[in-house]
Amino acid sequence: MANEPRLLSRATYRLWAQDRVRFGDTDRLGHVNNAKYATYFETARVELMQQVLPGPDSYFVIARIAIDFRAEIRELSTVDIGTAVTAIGRTSFTTGQAVFQGELCAATAEGVVVLVEAATRRPMPLPEALRQHLTTLAPVEG
């Protein structure tokens, strides 16, 4: 779940991406608009997907995303997005993610990513090599 306590800690994540908070990301209240967090999480998911995509005959789709907003970001600087793989299914896997600005955890998310065969546009089983790689991205226990 996106509200899982371990997702709040930087130490949980093995995979990191960065994005920049732009002036256009902010709203009238001067903080990052809630819709922008989905973009930050996408930045990190795409990086993960590019690392693990098994080949040109398949692609990943996001089937579900749940975001919990935890704190305001007001500073126009970089954010770090941590990603962990929290579950692996037959045709999909689940990610736990968090957006950090410094030590501040501003939002967490849970996403379900499905591997799809390009020719049929239907879910396909995760290849064993992909499953093995995904297990290396499990949350750091501690």
Contact 102, 58 (CB under 8 A): no
* Residue 62 belongs to a domain: yes
Task: Please state the domain count of the chain.
Answer: 1
pLDDT in tens, 22-31: 999 988 888 8
Residue span of the structural domain in which 39 resides: 5-135
Q: Is there a domain that residue 140 lies in?
A: no
**Strands 104-117 and 92-101: what pairing?**
antiparallel
**pTM of the full predicted structure?**
0.91
CATH number at residue 95: 3.10.129.10
**Assigned domain for 141 exists:** no
C-alpha count within 13 angstroms, C-beta hemisphere, residue 61:
10
Q: Say what the pLDDT of residue 5 is.
A: 79
Is 115 among the domain residues? yes
Asked whether 116 and 61 are in contact (CB, 8 A), the reply is yes
Query: Is the Cβ–Cβ distance between 2 and 67 less than 8 Å?
Result: yes
